[in-house]
Structure 1
Amino acid sequence: MTTDTAPDVRYSLVISADLDSRLEALAQGRSMSKADILRRGLALYEVAVGAQATGSRFGIVDADDRLTTEIVGL
């Protein structure tokens, strides 16, 4: 079994006040940190890009499994 022993990497990120407010609202609404929201956003972006790379579609489906919103242009 291998374990990841690489040290964490820190980033400095400059965002607008509006984007910070949106990030804060998401974090508070989910009882998460802003960093956790950004990590999950990156993971979701990675899934979307991977889907597109294989010719799959990425989007939102309704309760009847119909694609209601397709995410394009990533």
Structure 2
Amino acid sequence: QVAEILVAGSVIAMKADWTKPDPVVTAYLKSYGRFGIPFNVVYGPTAPRGVPLPEILTESAVLAAFEQAGGKKALARR
């Protein structure tokens, strides 16, 4: 179900490259109290600051974050 939502075109995936130290990426991680990767966040209309996901992703955690961010219902209407 997560894969279907991601390929539906209503979600934008973003990736930060931390191969080389980058103060912008470091500051972003620190703003969420995280200091390493992987780190995933879901943003949406009702979660402009984002919904941080656990390090080990599960389908239920991702779907819950979509719903909390206000995106799941909008995606379901497609």
TM-score normalised over the length of structure 1: 0.29
Q: Which has the larger radius of gyration?
A: 1
Higher helix proportion: 1
The TM-score with structure 2 as length reference comes to 0.28
Task: Give the structure, 1 or 2, with the largest relative contact order (CA under 8 Å, sep 6 or more).
Answer: 2
